[in-house]
Chains A and B, each alone.
Chain A
């Protein structure tokens, strides 16, 4: 319950920050990415400001055994630097440069009813579902020897 309230509070602050900083304005983001033309550095300042808060916060988190409201910090997946990371970041960067939206501002702007974000967000969601389908390719629903699909619960345990 408490955790839900704090998630909502953090979301509110995050969304207001995105709006006030101009991250929801695609033309401003495109100006930030346009290093060879009408470069607009304000978003670099926004990012630096956010990092200025986050770097000390991470240092505190490293020193604390537990967060304030739940028993433990969520474990981060231990992944290597690999082709997926690189390829995914290239695809994301190209989409970002084409539209001026990344996921957070896309959600915020679509929620406010901004026309361009209303095109962008469903496509982004579809892209995520497409990734899921692609990742699950070949993993057909397991069936037992009689051909009856294993129940959802078994399936979940098997997959985890």
Chain B
């Protein structure tokens, strides 16, 4: 479904389904193309909310992170994805599917950094469940 959605946005609207870029465009004052961006983001929420209504068990799981950690992580994700010009969707799916060298490097880097973070936090420090 994620692939179909990204493919449809590309072939219909000619746009790359990169969440970072689409969302960040909403934060830029004076941009004229906010409507489709806002609708795409609203769609993401609506799609997830529909699943939550139809299959509530999808959103029933244990939460394992403290607010302080989430705030710090959020800052890193927001700043990092903008600096790198993309995240899991833009680089990891859209870029990799074009075999873009930048996206291949970015995807390998954030996956490795994520895996290392989990390794250090979970196994070396034992601090993060």
A residues in contact (CB < 8 Å) with B: 3-21, 23-28, 30, 33-37, 46-47, 49-55, 57-58, 60-61, 64, 66-70, 72-74, 76-77, 79-81, 84-104, 106-109, 111-112, 114-116, 119-132, 134, 152, 156
B residues in contact (CB < 8 Å) with A: 1-17, 19-20, 23-24, 27-28, 30, 35-37, 39-52, 55, 58-59, 61-65, 67, 69-85, 87-89, 91-94, 96-98, 101-102, 105-107, 109-119, 121-123, 128
**Do the beta carbons of B77 and A20 come within 8 Å of each other?**
no
**Do the beta carbons of B106 and A125 come within 8 Å of each other?**
no
Complex Cα spacing A39 to B73, Å: 21
B46 interface neighbour in A15, A35, A99, A156, Cβ under 8 Å: A15
Neighbouring B residues of A128 by C-beta, 8 Å: 20, 23-24, 27, 78-79, 81-82
Query: Shortest distance in angstroms between B117's beta carbon and chain A's nearest beta carbon?
Result: 3
Query: Shortest distance in angstroms between B125's beta carbon and chain A's nearest beta carbon?
Result: 12
Q: Taking each of B2, B20, B48, B119, which has the highest tally of chain A beta carbons within 10 Å of its own beta carbon?
A: B48
Q: Taking each of B35, B74, B109, B110, which has the highest tally of chain A beta carbons within 10 Å of its own beta carbon?
A: B74
Query: Shortest distance in angstroms between B40's beta carbon and chain A's nearest beta carbon?
Result: 4
**Do the beta carbons of B83 and A20 come within 8 Å of each other?**
no
**Do the beta carbons of B77 and A101 come within 8 Å of each other?**
yes
B1 interface neighbour in A4, A14, A96, A103, Cβ under 8 Å: A14
**Do the beta carbons of B48 and A131 come within 8 Å of each other?**
no
Q: Are A112 and B76 CB-contacts (below 8 A) given A8-B42, A17-B5, A119-B71?
A: no
Q: Are A85 and B102 CB-contacts (below 8 A) given A7-B43, A26-B64, A112-B48?
A: yes
**Do the beta carbons of B75 and A114 come within 8 Å of each other?**
no
